Each structure stands twice: as C-alpha cells, then as structure tokens.
Amino acid sequence: MQHAGFWSIAHDHPSAVAVIEASGKTQTRGELLANSHRLVHGLRALGLKRGDCVAMALPNGSEALALFMATTQAGMYLVPINWHLTAHEMAYVLQDSNAKVFVASERIGQASREAADITQLPSSGRFAIGEIAGFAPFDTLFEGQPASLPEDRTAGAAMTYTSGTTGRPKGVRRPVGVADPDKVAAAQSGFLALFGIMPGSAGVHLVCAPLYHTAVLNFATNHLHLGHSVVLMDRWTPEATLELIAQHRVTNSHMVPTMFNRLLKLDAAERAKHDVSSLRHVIHSAAPCPVPTKQAMLDWWGPCIYEYYSASEGGGTLATPEQWLKKPGTVGKHWPFSQIRILDDRKEPVARGSVGTVWIRMGDYRFEYHKDAAKTAEAWNEGFFTVGDAGYLDEDDFLFLCDRKADMIIAGGVNIYPAEVEAQLVTHPSVLDAAVFGIPHADFGEEVKAVVQPVVGVSADPALAAELLSFLSERVAKYKLPRSIDFVAELPRDPSGKLYKRKLRDPYWQGRATAI
C-alpha cells in the first residue's frame, strides 16, 4: 500500500471509508476517487485548463472534498468562499479570482445567485447542490464522464483569500507548474509528521470548522492523503464534538481556543460520560490560547494537544505538549524547514527577548497576493515573509506572540479585518470618520467595537447606532458586525491622517498581559 497520496491509496483500497458526512452518510475512497476523476473530465469539457479557478461556496460535505481532489490533480486553483459573506463580498472574490466555474449550495442560494449575477458569470459556469435559480445541478458537471484516471495530471492548489491593505481580501496564490500531484500530495501530507502523525498510520480526523478556512481544508485533505477517514461536522457544538469523538474513535482534530473554552464550560457529568481516550493529536492555532485554558485541556485530554503558528501565507512554529508545559504561552520552535527572524521597523534584527515583527522563511517557497504586487513586495524581505505579527524569541528559540497583526480582530478563531467594516461605515451620510478594533470577550477572545465620529449636527444617540448597524448588516457578514458603537467628537489622527487606533483600543485591554 502507498501511504501518501489520496488517489493512489483510493485506487489500491477503494472500499475503506473516506468521508463520514454530518448526516451520518458515508462515502468510500473509491466513490470519492471516481467523483474527483469525473469532475476533472467535466471541468475540462467546459474548457477549463491548468491555472484556471474553480470557486465553491459550500457547507462541509463530500462535494467540497471531491472538488479539491479534482482541481489539485488538474493543475487548477480551488477558491473556497466563506459562505457567510454577503452577495457583494462573494462577488468580489469571484471577480478577483477570475473564477470560470462557481459551485454553490442552495443553503446560500440567494447570495450565491446575486454574486454570480453581479459578476455576470455565464450560466454554463454555475452549478448548485440543491436548487438555485439559473444554476445547473452539480451532478451535471460530472454525469456521463468517465471515472478513469485523467491524462496530463499536474498539481493544483487552493487559493484562499486574506485581507489586503485596503481591507479588500487578497488571494494567496502559489504557482502551479507541472509537478506530479501524487508527489506533491506526499510532500504536503508529510507536514503532519511534524506532529507525529506518520505515513502508514491509521487515523480518524474530525473536521470541526468550515472547510473554507485554509487550515481546516489543509488538515482534512492531508489526512485523506494519508489514508485516514474524515468526519465532517456541519455545525460545531461541544456536546456533538464529544459524541463524535467517542462514536468514531477519533484520533486527531484541528481546533481553535474558543472550542476549548466551550468544552471546558460543560458540566462535569457531561464531560465524564464521553470517552476521549482515542485522541492522539489535537492541533490548534488561529488565535492565542489562554494559558489556563490550555492547561485545563491538557489536564482533561492528556498530552495530545499541539500548537502551531502559521497563516494562509505559510509558517511557522510548533509546540508539542511537553514543550508547552515547559514554556507556557509559547507557540513553539521553528519547523525543520522554516526559519524565524524578529526584525524592527527598519528590518534590522532585534535583541533576543525583544519584541519585533515576525518574519518566516520556508526554504525556496514563494507566494504572491493575487493582483497586488505592492502588497506582495511588502510581505517579502531577503527570502522571508511576514503577515505583520509581533513577537519575540526566547533564549531557546521558542517564539512568543505579543500581538496578532496590529489591527486584525480574531473572534473565536475567525479573522476579522477592521478596514472592511470601516470602509463601509464611512459611506454612511451621517459618518465623518470611523475606527473599528477588537476588545476583550470572555468566550471568543475578542469582539468587534466601532467608534464613530458623526458629521457635525448629527445627534450621536442610540438611534444613530441602530441605524448604522442596520446599514452595515446589508454590506458585511454578520460575524463582522460591531457588538457596540461609541461616538466621539474627533478621532485621534496625526496631521498626516494616520489614525492612532491604539489610543482607542488600549483602555479596553488595561490589566491584560497582551492586547490580543
């Protein structure tokens, strides 16, 4: 048996279960393999070729995984779209990525249809799981196509979107060449070996979050590339998580600290009745994890909780349970193929233990921000890239983060970019200036706060706050909406127009070790 590369493993052992849906329905490796091959033939029949983009706005399901396994053996880009976005936000991603095909679920049918209409995507490129007006059934994309191994296979990639300097999302685009998909899959799934998850191992991976997240999609598909089964959750709850771990004897999962918080808030009787002894590797990232929370999880689940530092652009560091217990709060040491630098604003090295910007190198690895050469150039320096995080290295090369980008809000492991909300707020006729930032939240880590400078003569009262929230709700996704709005006579800006956002944010973080 080949131990890395889904297509080879599924060909050799087609009857094993590959996917367990949230409904309980299962799909074998052979079924997922056949669908991925048929999709390649179907996409090519539409005229798609290497380098073209296929976008999807889908809840967790085998269809999303089949699209990944199709595009990544056909040299295409898969663009996962956050299905919580508004129609205009989705349309931006469709247009910016130049997607030739868009696959959407009827659960978000109206926004998907409006997004496709805004971008004037041809009807021949619209496909729906369920029914969406103007979209063809998803099955027609591959019905009648052969299940045979496609010719001219070449590795593709996922292109996920992250924030740009203007608040507009930017696609993180890695070059696709003529590499063998099986070799690339073996290399990518080898990433799991950093955590001790080795090729040839047996495993069941629990997917707790939406597959449109970079890490969630990467971990799910890398486990498929190792021959593991993948259990999909449609909606996360702490009770369902424990039930699925016990039911399917889950060995590994990828989580965020908010999930830990909510699991720990279950009463002792509820926690005790579920068997979690099958867990071997529970890997977390996406947001800082409070030291007491992680310690409590280690006390409950044992030494199976691993932490890493990374971003959509790349990574990073790793902290094993043993390392973290020796250095609580660390996000770990650099990966064997990565290097970490801490530089000041002049891009000069800082002293050991001093805070600066975290820069990362992954050998010869490169990426670019799609259609944004300036942002790409800003992110790179002497072969190292940064996403703007601040931190320091201790005397043993363990990285500690002091902030998660200067302005980015991380609520429940989800990145929220204030510039997107600010850009919408200032278009309201009653708003002269606006600032959006994160303030402490006991469960999510942070929540969204807005401070608005009204136009002279406009009453800064609860009625205006309600009006602004209603205005925003039509323009940004619900999870980006401010929980509250304050009003000031003037925002703190210097003569050049730079906003001193920390002057607004810091009072909310007084008494805390870090403002994250």
Distance CA 396, CA 389 (A): 20
Per-residue pLDDT of the chain (516 residues; tens, 9 = 90+): 445 799 999 999 999 999 999 999 999 999 999 999 999 999 999 999 999 999 999 999 999 999 999 999 999 999 999 998 999 999 999 999 999 999 999 999 999 999 999 999 999 999 999 999 999 999 999 999 999 999 999 999 999 998 544 467 889 998 887 899 999 999 889 899 999 999 888 999 999 999 999 999 999 999 999 999 999 999 999 999 999 999 999 999 999 887 887 898 888 999 999 999 999 999 998 666 778 889 999 999 999 999 999 988 988 999 999 999 999 999 999 999 999 999 998 999 999 999 889 999 999 889 999 988 998 999 999 999 999 888 899 999 999 987 566 677 889 888 787 878 887 898 898 998 899 999 999 899 899 999 999 988 999 999 999 999 999 999 999 999 999 999 999 988 754 456 778 889 889 888 764 444
Distance CA 286, CA 486 (A): 28
411-509 to CATH, choices 3.30.300.30, 1.10.800.10, 3.30.460.20, 3.60.20.10: 3.30.300.30
Element holding 472 (H helix, E strand): helix 462-473
Q: State whether residue 26 is helix, strand or coil.
A: strand
* Dihedral in degrees, nearest 10, Cα atoms 450, 453, 457, 461: 30
CATH 2.30.38.10 fits 330-403, yes or no: yes
Q: For tokens 């050998």, what's the residue?
A: 363
**Beta carbons of 475 and 469 less than 8 angstroms apart:** no
| Secondary structure of 361-392 as H, E, C letters | ECCCCCCEECCCHHHHHHHEECCEECCCCEEE
**Beta carbons of 6 and 220 less than 8 angstroms apart:** no
73's tokens:
């053996």
Of 154, 210, 216, the closest CA to residue 185 belongs to: 154
* Angle between helix 214-225 and 181-189 (nearest 10): 110
404's tokens:
């998660």
| Burial (CB count <10 Å: 0-12, 13-18, 19+), residue 458 | middle
All structural domains of the chain with their residue ranges: 6-14+27-179, 330-403, 411-509
Give the CA distances from residue 162 to residues 33, 167, 376, 501, in Å, rounded to whole numbers and listed in that order. 30, 9, 12, 21
Helical H runs in 149-228?
Answer: 181-189, 214-225
- Quote the pLDDT of residue 163: 57
- Quote the pLDDT of residue 1: 40
Distance CA 409, CA 415 (A): 6
Class of domain 6-14+27-179: alpha beta
Beta strands in 142-203 (DSSP E): 157-158, 161-163, 169-173
Helix, strand and coil in the chain, % to nearest 5: 35, 25, 40
- Quote the pLDDT of residue 406: 63
Beta strands in 272-398 (DSSP E): 281-284, 305-311, 314-319, 333-334, 339-343, 356-361, 368-369, 380-381, 384-385, 390-393
- Quote the pLDDT of residue 409: 87
Element holding 239 (H helix, E strand): helix 238-248
- Quote the pLDDT of residue 328: 93
Q: State whether residue 356 is helix, strand or coil.
A: strand
Of 213, 388, 193, 406, the closest CA to residue 312 belongs to: 213
* CB within 8 Å of 470: residues ≥ 6 apart: none
Query: Which tens digit of pLDDT belongs to each residue from 331-373?
Result: 999 999 999 999 998 999 999 999 889 999 999 889 999 988 9
- Quote the pLDDT of residue 417: 76
